[in-house]
C-alpha cells in the first residue's frame, strides 16, 4: 500500500472517529435539590427511591420538626433510610 493511500485512509478514520465522538451527548449531571425548600413534586423528581408518598413525608417532617440541619437528618423521616440518603447524597443541598 502506498504511503499516500495509507495517509488518506488514516485521515478518513480520524475524521470519522471525531464525528462520532462529537455526536455523543454530554454527560447528565444530577439535579440538586434543597430539602429545606423543595416541594414534594420536586423532591420526587430529583431523588432516586423517593416517590410521591416519601416526598410528602419529607415535607411533613420538615414542617413539623423544622429545617434539616444536615443531609444525614433526612434518614429520620419515616420511609427514608440510610441507603436512600447515601444514593442521593450528591443531589441533596441543605440550606436554610
Tens digit of pLDDT for each residue in 16-47? 554 455 566 766 666 899 999 999 999 999 99
Domain count, the chain: 1
Whether residue 67 lies inside any domain: the answer is yes
Residue 81 belongs to a domain? yes
Let me know if residue 4 belongs to a domain.
Answer: no
Q: How far apart, in whole angstroms, are the C-alpha atoms of residue 44 and residue 13? A: 45
In a domain, residue 75? The reply is yes
In a domain, 88, yes or no: yes
Domain CATH number, residue 59 = 1.10.150.280
Does the reported pTM lie above 0.85?
no
Question: Does 47 map to a domain?
Answer: yes
Closest of 95, 91, 96, 94 to residue 32, by C-alpha: 91
Cα 57 to Cα 11, 29, 32, 54, 91, distances in angstroms: 59, 26, 19, 5, 18
Query: What percentage of the chain carries pLDDT values higher than 70?
Result: 69
CA proximity to 30, closest of 93, 82, 75:
93
Amino acid at each position: 500500500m502506498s504511503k499516500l493511500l495509507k495517509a488518506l485512509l488514516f485521515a478518513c478514520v480520524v475524521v470519522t472517529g471525531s464525528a462520532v465522538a462529537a455526536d455523543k451527548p454530554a454527560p447528565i449531571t444530577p439535579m440538586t435539590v434543597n430539602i429545606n425548600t423543595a416541594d414534594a413534586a420536586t423532591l420526587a423528581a430529583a431523588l432516586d427511591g423517593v416517590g410521591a408518598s416519601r416526598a410528602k413525608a419529607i415535607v411533613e417532617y420538615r414542617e413539623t420538626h423544622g429545617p434539616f440541619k444536615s443531609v444525614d437528618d433526612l434518614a429520620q423521616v419515616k420511609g427514608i433510610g440510610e441507603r436512600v440518603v447515601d444514593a442521593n447524597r450528591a443531589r441533596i443541598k441543605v440550606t436554610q
